[in-house]
Amino acid sequence: MPIINFRFTKINASKSDLSGSAKINVDESIGIKNISEVNLEFGPNQKAATFEMEFIADYIQNEESKASINIVSEAIYLDEDKKIKELLSNWKAKKPVNPDVVASIHNLALTKSLVHALLLSDSLALPSPINLPKIKVKAMDEKK
């Protein structure tokens, strides 16, 4: 079933002194903070759940966190009543949640968060949190 809404609820970026030429490593993570039921009116036998996600990019230099980007988002997922109840029950019992649902929510949140993280990293003069494609120039053959 579909993801019917996505929004950011918190965007935070901070940077301290990045001095010297020591390498900066970017550690990224994304995870589900919470899953809860949403009281929305849909057709018969349909319910919705809100997934609260958190994306973190931590910039580490000399084994110290020197900058971070933190993005919290929510996605509303619609499905059959019994599937939403099972999803919520599994979450509360700390059991695995349907991997297909989790994968689609993670992918959406990751894609949207990385776009914002890329812009924020540029604004703070930080390295990109993702590897961007680069053009490589090949040496031209002298013989023609």
| Domain annotation covers residue 141 | no
- Domain membership of residue 73 (yes or no) is yes
Residue 1 has pLDDT above 90, yes or no: no
* Contact (CB, 8 A) for 4 and 77: yes
Q: How does residue 8 score in pLDDT terms, banded at 50, 70 and 90? A: very high
Q: Are strands 24-38 and 46-61 parallel, antiparallel or unpaired?
A: antiparallel
Q: What is the pLDDT of residues 51-84, one digit of tens each?
A: 999 999 999 988 888 899 999 999 999 999 999 9
Is residue 131, in this structure, part of any structural domain at all? no
SS (H, E, C) 32-85: EEEEEEECCCCCCCEEEEEEEEEEEEEEEECCEEEEEEEEEEEEEEEEEHHHHH
For residue 44, tell me if it sits in a domain: yes
How far apart are alpha carbons 64 and 133 in whole angstroms?
28
Judged against a pLDDT cut of 60, whether residue 37 lies above it is answered with yes
Domain count, the chain: 1
- The sign of the CA dihedral 85, 1, 76, 52 is positive
Taking all residues of the chain, what is their mean pLDDT, rounded to a whole number?
90
Q: Are 85 and 36 in contact (CB under 8 A)?
A: no
User: Domain span at residue 73?
Assistant: 3-15+24-123
